[in-house]
Amino acid sequence: MATRPDYYKTLGVDRKATPEEIKKTYRKLARQYHPDRNPDDEQAEARFKEISQAHDVLGDPEKRKQYDSGSGPFATGAGPGGGFGGFGNFDFDGNSMGDILSNLFGGSTSGRRVRTKPRAEKGTDLEAQVSISFDQAVSGAQVPLQVPMHQSCPTCHGTGAKPGTAPSVCPRCEGRGIETQGQGMFSISQPCSLCGGTGTVIEDPCPTCNGAGAVRTVKRLRVNIPAGVRDGSRIRLAGKGEPGRNGGPPGDLYLITHVEPSSLFTRKGDNLEVEVPLSIPEALRGAEVQVPTLSGTKTLRVQPGTASGTVQRLRGEGPPKLGRSGEKGDIHYRFVIDVPKNLSKEQESAIEELSRTLDGNPRAGLFGNGSAAAAAAASASAAGDTAAKGAGDGS
Ligand SMILES: [Zn+2]
Ligand SMILES: [Zn+2]
């Protein structure tokens, strides 16, 4: 025959203890052995279960009476399954126990604050926008930043409980975090609706954080923007997010960069592009021209007969490639021929001189070779020249 557990001994109370005394002792022990307070301590956990079971019986006047008299479910050897090999043969129904406990704990359980689960959790990831100049984007920068975030409440150190108090065992689930509805084979277990599965509730919330365990603050940071970011880059700053909970690692901070455009350089992928005006003689005869780089100037050799739109590039003079250390993009120099709007008398006669010698038709290739259309186009072009000139003068 199985032995009957001595619940009075488990709780350390006298057989004649009043319900008040049992309640008081139980609460004291439950706090002491609660798994939240004794993480990874199997002995404490086993003790906590014993205490809870003892209280489940002794805390209920009806069950206590049956227990004391050895009747009902407590009758030893009363038939098959009647032994006390385990604690599974009487009703541990979650609801009724919740009611009993909530009575014992002094009234309604509604409105109690729920405590965050004492499992290590990574802090929340945050996102912030930073505006930087073009130069800062190219060379990298350290910028001050104010990031609103939650931090562990300084008053309660994150417990959510008023200083001097501690979160207590959830009266509905007795700290198990699970509620069971129904009986036997048809019972359904689900996270406790009162404590949300954490097993604890806060009866006296911390006045600073209102029981949340965290407060909203603005954290001032100096963040390093890596060289080579672009407008709209998303940079991950590991560990700069909200602090972790219960010893968990902090979250990350994602920075979205807004880069002011440069008056000179246009970003094209990994490279930069600059427009370089050439005078007509430079384009015709070739030249050596000074061009800007990110660090100063360089000389480019312009080939004779350079067409408008020709691109020359300087490899490795561009911005650093983000995430590929040491690699840099290029700068593309796009030549555009600077056409003067107004000509002096001297320039005009020089152009006259030039047009006499440059008498070919550059558009001949647009039309069929030697066809009537080509001839018509050529003569139309000659007439068009004067027409265009007249229009230009008028404007
Ligand atoms: Zn607090
Ligand atoms: Zn609960």
Closest CA to 172 of 63, 86, 93: 93
The per-residue pLDDT for 336 is 96
How many Å lie between the centroid of ligand 2 and the Cα of residue 117? 11
Nearest one of 49, 68, 69, 48 to 58, comparing CA atoms = 68
pLDDT at 390: 41
Question: Could you count the other beta carbons within 10 Å of the beta carbon of residue 104?
Answer: 19
Cβ–Cβ < 8 Å for 279, 338: yes
Residue 16 in tokens: 């004649």
* Distance from Cα 94 to the centre of ligand 2, integer Å: 10
How far apart, in whole angstroms, are the C-alpha atoms of residue 70 and residue 81? Answer: 15
Residue 113 Cα to ligand 2 middle (Å): 11
Angle between helix 42-58 and 61-69 (nearest 10) = 90
The runs of H, that is alpha helices, within the chain are 7-11, 19-33, 42-58, 61-69, 94-104, 134-139, 280-285, 345-357, 372-394
Closest alpha carbon to 87 in 60, 50, 115: 50
Taking the C-alpha atoms of residue 89 and residue 81, their distance in angstroms, rounded to an integer, is 7
pLDDT along the chain (395 residues), means of 10: 75 88 85 76 82 86 85 57 36 39 38 49 91 94 92 86 88 85 74 85 90 88 92 92 84 94 93 96 95 95 95 95 88 96 93 86 78 56 45 40
DSSP string, 29-80: HHHHH-TTTSTT-HHHHHHHHHHHHHHHHHTSHHHHHHHHHT-GGG-TT-ST
Q: Are the beta carbons of 169 and 29 closer than 8 angstroms? A: no
98 C-alpha to ligand 2 centroid (Å): 9
CA distance to 99, 194, 211, 213, 261, per residue, from 115 (Å):
21, 10, 7, 8, 49
105: which 2 tokens? Answer: 């704990």
pLDDT for 248: 86
Q: What is the whole-number distance in angstroms between the Cα of residue 248 and the centre of ligand 2?
A: 23
- Contact partners, residue 203, CB within 8 Å, separation at least 6: 112, 113, 161, 165, 168
CA of 175 to the centre of ligand 1 (A): 22
Cβ(329)–Cβ(319) below 8 Å: yes
Find the 152 Cα to ligand 1 centroid distance in Å.
8
Centroid of ligand 2 to alpha carbon of 41 (angstroms) = 20
Tell how far the Cα of 277 is from the centroid of ligand 2, in angstroms: 76
Q: Sheet containing 271-278: give its strands across.
A: 266-268, 271-278, 331-337, 311-314
Residue type, 83: G
Give the per-residue pLDDT at 132.
95
Ligand sitting nearest the alpha carbon of 172: 2
Rounded Cα distance between 110 and 351, Å, is 95
- Check: CB of residue 57 under 8 Å from CB of residue 64: yes
Which contiguous run of DSSP H or E holds residue 342?
none
Residue 298 in contact with residue 315, Cβ under 8 Å? no
Using alpha carbons, list the distances in angstroms from residue 294 to 64, 131, 249, 319. Answer: 86, 20, 40, 8
Please give the C-alpha separations between residue 240 and each of 120, 150, 153, 234, 315, in angstroms, as whole numbers.
17, 12, 18, 14, 36
